[in-house]
Structure 1
Amino acid sequence: MDLRVEAPEPATGPVIGQFAVASQSSLQERRPRVLKHGDTFAVFDRSGDLLSGEGSPDGLFHRDTRYLSHLDLLVDGARPILLSSSPRDDNSMLTCDLTNPDLHDGTGRLVLEHDLVHVRRSKFLWNGTCFERLLVRNFDDRPRRLSVALRFEADFADLFEVRGTRRRQRGSFHPAEVGTDTVVLSYTGLDGRRRSTILRFDPAPARLEAGGALFDIDVAPGGRSVIFMEVRCDDGLPPEGAETQAAPRPLRDRFLSSMVEARRALRRSSSKAAAVETSNDIFNEAVRRCVADLYMLVTDTPQGPYPYAGTPWFSAAFGRDALITAYMALWADPSLARGVLRFLAANQAKEENRAADAEPGKILHEVRYGEMAELGEVPFRRYYGSVDATPLFVLLAGAYLERTGDVATLHGLWPHMEAALRWIDAYGDRDGDGFVEYGRRTEEGLLNQGWKDSHDSIFHADGAMARGPIALCEVQAYVYAAKRAAAAVAARLGLPDRARALESEAESLKERFDRAFWCEDLGTYGLALDGGKRLCRVRSSNAGHALFTGIALPERAARLAETLMDRTSFSGWGVRTVAATEARYNPMSYHNGSVWPHDNALIALGLARYGFKREAARIFDGLFRASIYIDLRRLPELFCGFPRRRGEGPTFYPVACAPQAWAAASPLSLIQACLGLDFDPATRTIRLDRPVLPDFLDEIVLRNLAVEEGRLDLAVRRAGGEVAPHVLRRTGDVRVEITA
């Protein structure tokens, strides 16, 4: 059997696009299976294979490098038939069930009828290693001798190459080191670092080569045979926790012990969070998957837990994404917010660096560890090119204090908050007009630096691109909320003069914002001000963030809510990023007409803030109905903005990340919006403000809600036309208040 893999060479040539994700195939069409632990993640096809090819996202990735680009399983020379494929509910393991097709000899004679051999592949990640167990069972009435082959390849491509960026030059591959049960594949990059993929097998294969392992197994009728494999990513740095002794334990022992550790670690991290149960079984599946996805994406850092943005393209520490994710999950698990705030404080910019778009006090946008980032071929080694992460940092810090009363943590964060506020006033306001603008410092930086960072996402009513520096609508809203949050923190820390000054600055911004951004004829706040202070008179979802932060004047709220929920903006699944009437509307675009769950969750919080609970519930209902049609009930990063049609599901975006942290946290935020859930740690009170339930729910039960040392389980039930809370269990001094 030929064990070689005919895999294409990584593409070289001129760089195309600005770090865009190439769209040569649809992730939704392939429905890949994803695992992640720490700085390692894997994208498999539904059979558990990694299939190489131009544009394939498959692979085992570690710290932004693909350590295994191909892995496929053959039984007697044929690819098995897929029976089923599913991750565990907690995402700790992927299980793929396969069987044999009809197998013929060289003369065409049938030698093995289909569905007689069952193969179960069990995979998980732990400490930079992918573990796999192959269980082969014979359901024939006679013994079978089977040939089982695993073919593999490692291209050591940088993640940005996998995403579509072409390189002019690459490093050097080393000859494979082949032993009796081990193969080592190695590559030294242009950054001088040697990266190795170490594959081990148990039992030792009958034949082992640089590109494959062949096992000859004898299986009795009703019998079984087991093969273990591990693939370890060695980046030349100290291992994350892998064994370092000269004679490691047998693979079967390592498989079992590591599996137990991986499951325990997930349970430990997720056990801190409140749990959600409802009267709708389908929504229960969806919210369990979202919570499992969120904690799979969490990576432990020296500063605490930090949710990476999403797989496959954004499995890294992003500032904006983590801040919004932690905010949406704050009511359920404040430890995420604490970890995010402390990590970003530790990585706050201290000096100017044009290549990194860094300025003193600015909050991190993105960290990458791959070869291209190390070499500066992409600017993201430690990159600060986002205009909104800095005010969002201050906003989250204030919300964390309000949720927890943890003054000690805020004492440590206060100098970083002050540095962020100085950045907002000194560097963020580039022209002294009182608004925060962005503009990249070099041609290599991101052109647009808000959350809609596509090159064509900020435009005028006629479709012309806005030229910078650009003051985004939602960024001014975040700055307003940041100054109010900082004022509250300053008051708690015994700084009354600073608190009064920040409140005054926030109120002044609120008035100026309304004068500069409100479009009476459109019933919304404009998208942005360009470098010439011309307003981008575009109806967009960004305006909904003005409701979220409270910068919208009360007299504008009803009109803005009506605009957001108009059929040109609300697709039936959610609010589109831009309305269908706008010049650049395209429901299949990344930012100009699509629907993003996190965007909608923040809008729902804003609608609820101004009393539009029924509108918030409509958004909740739309995203839930979308999840019914989505594989694993997993909300993706985004989907297309086509109108909802009766009896049909949403249209998927081809390269949307799934799981994605802020999409996973969105149902938690939507629950908070509809219930008006709030906490007062000083009085140990949980408040519900005019709670409503969406039509698909008659009851929500929140378990393990924590305020200070108190805990309770709370049921919120529909009773006729009213919604009422019921305490099911209480530990400690904690009470519930409801505003009707």
Structure 2
Amino acid sequence: MNRLVSILDGNTFLVCDERGDLEPSLDVATGLFSFDTRFLSTWQLTLDGERLRTLSVDEEQSYRTRFFLSSDRSARVQNSKVSVIRSRTIGGGLDEEVAVLNHAGRDVDFTVRVDMGSDFADLFEIKEAPRQKGNSTATIGARELRLTYRRGRFLRETVVSASEPGHIDERGMTFTVRVPAHGEWSTRLHVATIIYGARGEDARASLPLGGSRTPAVIEAEHRRLVERAPKLGCDFTPLEQAYRRSLKDLTALRYESLALGVHLLAAGLPWFMTLFGRDSMLTGLQMLPFMPDLVPPTMNLLAGLQGARLDDFRDEEPGKILHELRYGETAGFEERPHSPYYGAADSTALFVILLDEYERWSGDGELVRALEFSVRHALDWIDTYGDLLGTGYIWYQTRNPHTGLENQCWKDSWDSISYADGRLPGFPRATCELQGYAYDAKMRGARLARTFFGDPAWADQLERGAAALKERFNRDFWVADGEYYALALDAEGKPVDALSSNMGHLLWSGIVDEARAGKVAEQLLSPRLFSGWGVRTLATDQGRYNPIGYHVGTVWPFDNSIIAWGLWRYGFREEAGRICMAMCEASRYFNGRLPEAFAGYDRDLTDYPVEYPTACSPQAWSAGAPLLMLRVLLGLEPHGEHLIIDPAVPPGMGRIELLDIPGRWGRIDALGRSRNL
């Protein structure tokens, strides 16, 4: 598989090779997808029976791509007498124009073939050799190929139509054409993806934006959203480039919910193009000074789907905020629990944290009052179902041993939580950042109770609970002989003593004792954790350290943005600046787009950050990282009706100017400069 190219608009996206072709793969999620179903798994262009060679790919716009290709018949591209341009746009479906250009001085006959097929695989099945449980059919019409998949009431269709006449069979379309000397032939192919609802029509047709959108509509919407965001002017080109890329990516990741028809933010391409509780709320926190309008619909939907019963299959509990919502076949037939799934121990506390932070920025007390029941329910979950062992901590252990997640913190891969020597603890587990989130949620919940809910007694109770949690946490999680906080507690209450990046989340939450904050900052910026490109998820001397392990040594941009925010909170401005500078410098090697994760090799070992092979890109909370880092560098903090601006720009960045920052104060400008200039 060569380099992958993606194109997306909301929940519809396509991932292909650099020729524009699709071939089924178990390694990566190639194909045309919409709402967790793959509508095209094969889309392969040949000219006179031969594959084409890539000259260049234009992928500047997220929703539009052009592939410049030549025939492989010539040993040298410069001798080729024919070239092909594939111009592609996406918007609910896919439109592609295939243009064959004859550079010879005579008329030439060509056979243009596009192989087409769909396995209608559920996104969950891509890595598991998808097997259809329903029936597939192919129907040939006038200039149209209709591929249908039905399993009971689950019905999906892919309809491909062409603007030019050709021969259509069940596996694609063939065009036999004569192209005049120095002339051109083209056809427009339209791929409609149809998600049938209970009434027998496309379920997206009733949404405000409908099923399909033209490039002009998409472009206008993207431009409008980007123009509403604050304007950045700075001397440090990598930061400016990352900011522009982030705004574009976050705009492209917006999609319309099938359930409510409101705009939400998908977590990341290709695996997470749906609503995630944790990811959506952490991205919301990152975006508040820039795109605050995306927060209310997310909060309302999460509140509407808040857990209301005990359901072992879905890991659902009363008051719990969901982890993930899926629309595919496996969720629909309850072969997987994602309709929705509640296997996250952190999303419930984050719900309270984001709501409070949003109000502090926006002054939107109406939303807070509307969600009072959900806030009370969430805080009650922390002290009841969240505390599995009755020790005053949040623990997790899946109720669904067959398809539930083992680790229900943000590091949710199977081997992410370990002792220093590499052993894995049993369940339940209580990771350290969960306790920080719980502390922060209680403190913020107290403010909401006192200010908006008219319940000072409950506010006092929450603050007492937070104080007790902080004292207990600093006693039980501190590893005295190493002077750092343990990654977790095991079921016996003993420290799971791996040294990890999670400590930075503790600083952000405020649960760290002031006397220990300096040592935490020192550990985070030590060579064991800090690669030079960012803070690793796991220190280099730990038993499971692997620089290309998903959560055991890679560098995650979102993680680093939260760490920088935590360092800033405790006054470690220089250390926060070092992380922000490293992240910006790393972004240059990804064309401004920070990926989900990259390898944790020492900067002295590599001249550039090494890509993680299956990282999501774009990913929402990675796209949000540059935005949060701007907040940290400029020292932006709401205080009543005012915005505090207290910049600390690291040497080498020069001037940073952010104009029209929205909030309860209206719009305001912020300026910071490196101290050495």
Give 1:424 deviation, angstroms.
Answer: 0.7
Give 1:183 deviation, angstroms.
Answer: 0.3
Inter-partner Cα distance in structure 2 for 1:709 and 1:204: 60
Tell me the equivalent position of 1:194.
Answer: 155
Q: SS of 2:22's equivalent?
A: coil
Q: Does 1:39 align with 2:2?
A: no
- Give runs of aligned pairs for residues 226-241 of structure 1, distance below 5 A: 226-237=186-197, 238-239=201-202
Tell me the equivalent position of 1:57.
Answer: 29
Preserved contact between residue 373 and residue 380 of structure 1 (Cα < 8 Å) = yes
Tell me the equivalent position of 2:128.
Answer: 165
Give 1:48 deviation, angstroms.
Answer: 1.5
549-558 or 452-461, larger mean C-alpha shift: 452-461
Give 1:84 deviation, angstroms.
Answer: 1.3
Tell me the equivalent position of 1:448.
Answer: 407
Alpha-carbon displacement from aligned partner over 1:577-602 (angstroms, at most 9, x marks no partner): 11111111111211111111111110
Amino acid at match of 1:157: A
Preserved contact between residue 11 and residue 253 of structure 2 (Cα < 8 Å) = no
Tell me the equivalent position of 2:256.
Answer: 300
Q: 2:114 aligns with which of 141, 147, 150?
A: 150
Q: 1:693 aligns with which of 646, 649, 657?
A: 649
Give 1:56 deviation, angstroms.
Answer: 4.4
Q: 2:388 aligns with which of 422, 430, 433?
A: 430
Give 1:208 deviation, angstroms.
Answer: 1.2
Alpha-carbon displacement from aligned partner over 1:388-436 (angstroms, at most 9, x marks no partner): 0000111101100111110011111111111101111111011221111
Tell me the equivalent position of 1:457.
Answer: 416
Q: Does 1:610 align with 2:573?
A: no
Q: SS of 1:366's equivalent?
A: coil
Inter-partner Cα distance in structure 2 for 1:560 and 1:86: 45
Preserved contact between residue 102 and residue 114 of structure 1 (Cα < 8 Å) = no
Percent identical pairs in the alignment equals 36
Alpha-carbon displacement from aligned partner over 1:78-104 (angstroms, at most 9, x marks no partner): 222212113234x12112222233459
Inter-partner Cα distance in structure 2 for 1:711 and 1:271: 14
Inter-partner Cα distance in structure 1 for 2:385 and 2:205: 44
Give 1:523 deviation, angstroms.
Answer: 2.1
Q: Does 1:134 align with 2:98?
A: yes
Amino acid at match of 1:418: R
Tell me the equivalent position of 2:177.
Answer: 217
Give 1:537 deviation, angstroms.
Answer: 1.4
Tell me the equivalent position of 1:121.
Answer: 86
Q: 1:260 aligns with which of 207, 216, 223?
A: 216
147-156 or 420-429, larger mean C-alpha shift: 147-156
Q: SS of 1:442's equivalent?
A: coil
Inter-partner Cα distance in structure 1 for 2:666 and 2:78: 62
Preserved contact between residue 102 and residue 113 of structure 1 (Cα < 8 Å) = no
Preserved contact between residue 303 and residue 339 of structure 1 (Cα < 8 Å) = no
The gaps in structure 2 that reach 5 residues or longer are none
- Give runs of aligned pairs for residues 315-334 of structure 1, distance below 5 A: 315-334=273-292
Inter-partner Cα distance in structure 2 for 1:144 and 1:665: 51
Alpha-carbon displacement from aligned partner over 1:666-692 (angstroms, at most 9, x marks no partner): 111111112211234x43x33222x22
Preserved contact between residue 402 and residue 679 of structure 1 (Cα < 8 Å) = yes
User: CA distance change for structure 1 residues 514 and 260 in 2, over 3 Å: closer, same or farther?
Assistant: same
User: CA distance change for structure 1 residues 542 and 203 in 2, over 3 Å: closer, same or farther?
Assistant: same
Q: Does 1:345 align with 2:309?
A: no
Give 1:139 deviation, angstroms.
Answer: 3.4
Alpha-carbon displacement from aligned partner over 1:482-505 (angstroms, at most 9, x marks no partner): 111111112221332222222222
- Give runs of aligned pairs for residues 651-690 of structure 1, distance below 5 A: 651-680=610-639, 682-683=640-641, 685-689=642-646
Preserved contact between residue 254 and residue 263 of structure 2 (Cα < 8 Å) = yes
Inter-partner Cα distance in structure 1 for 2:659 and 2:521: 32
Alpha-carbon displacement from aligned partner over 1:163-219 (angstroms, at most 9, x marks no partner): x2356x632433311112100011223x541221111111232x1111121223333
Amino acid at match of 2:122: D
Inter-partner Cα distance in structure 1 for 2:555 and 2:234: 25
Q: 1:96 aligns with which of 67, 73, 85?
A: 67
Inter-partner Cα distance in structure 1 for 2:508 and 2:134: 51
Q: SS of 1:33's equivalent?
A: strand
Tell me the equivalent position of 1:737.
Answer: none
Tell me the equivalent position of 1:78.
Answer: 50
Alpha-carbon displacement from aligned partner over 1:454-475 (angstroms, at most 9, x marks no partner): 1111122232211121111000
Preserved contact between residue 92 and residue 266 of structure 1 (Cα < 8 Å) = no
- Give runs of aligned pairs for residues 493-572 of structure 1, distance below 5 A: 493=452, 494-572=454-532
Preserved contact between residue 699 and residue 716 of structure 1 (Cα < 8 Å) = yes
Inter-partner Cα distance in structure 2 for 1:448 and 1:32: 30
Q: Which structure 1 residue ranges, 4+ long, deviate > 6 Å from structure 2? A: none
- Give runs of aligned pairs for residues 590-739 of structure 1, distance below 5 A: 590-630=550-590, 632-645=591-604, 648-680=607-639, 682-683=640-641, 685-689=642-646, 691-708=647-664, 710-718=666-674, 721=676
Inter-partner Cα distance in structure 2 for 1:224 and 1:175: 35
Alpha-carbon displacement from aligned partner over 1:274-331 (angstroms, at most 9, x marks no partner): 2333223343222222221112112233374321111111111111111111111111
Preserved contact between residue 621 and residue 695 of structure 1 (Cα < 8 Å) = no
Q: Does 1:183 align with 2:145?
A: yes
Give 1:242 deviation, angstroms.
Answer: 5.9
Preserved contact between residue 523 and residue 529 of structure 2 (Cα < 8 Å) = yes
Inter-partner Cα distance in structure 1 for 2:471 and 2:192: 57
Amino acid at match of 1:175: T
Q: SS of 1:448's equivalent?
A: coil
Q: 2:541 aligns with which of 567, 571, 581?
A: 581
Amino acid at match of 1:415: F
Give 1:646 deviation, angstroms.
Answer: 6.4
Inter-partner Cα distance in structure 1 for 2:134 and 2:309: 36
Preserved contact between residue 195 and residue 204 of structure 2 (Cα < 8 Å) = no
Alpha-carbon displacement from aligned partner over 1:595-645 (angstroms, at most 9, x marks no partner): 111111100000111111111111112222222222x33211111111112
Inter-partner Cα distance in structure 2 for 1:288 and 1:46: 24
Inter-partner Cα distance in structure 2 for 1:624 and 1:663: 12
Tell me the equivalent position of 1:358.
Answer: 316
Inter-partner Cα distance in structure 2 for 1:218 and 1:113: 22
User: CA distance change for structure 1 residues 646 and 465 in 2, over 3 Å: closer, same or farther?
Assistant: closer
Give 1:268 deviation, angstroms.
Answer: 3.7
Residues matched between the structures, number: 667
User: CA distance change for structure 1 residues 40 and 440 in 2, over 3 Å: closer, same or farther?
Assistant: same
Preserved contact between residue 100 and residue 114 of structure 1 (Cα < 8 Å) = no
Give 1:525 deviation, angstroms.
Answer: 0.8
Inter-partner Cα distance in structure 2 for 1:137 and 1:649: 39
Preserved contact between residue 40 and residue 61 of structure 1 (Cα < 8 Å) = yes
Amino acid at match of 1:88: E
Inter-partner Cα distance in structure 1 for 2:244 and 2:605: 26
Inter-partner Cα distance in structure 2 for 1:660 and 1:56: 16
Preserved contact between residue 565 and residue 629 of structure 2 (Cα < 8 Å) = yes
Give 1:145 deviation, angstroms.
Answer: 3.2
Preserved contact between residue 101 and residue 113 of structure 1 (Cα < 8 Å) = no
Tell me the equivalent position of 2:446.
Answer: 487
Inter-partner Cα distance in structure 1 for 2:239 and 2:449: 41
User: CA distance change for structure 1 residues 401 and 54 in 2, over 3 Å: closer, same or farther?
Assistant: closer
Tell me the equivalent position of 1:6.
Answer: none
Amino acid at match of 1:182: E
Preserved contact between residue 307 and residue 661 of structure 1 (Cα < 8 Å) = yes
Q: SS of 2:313's equivalent?
A: helix
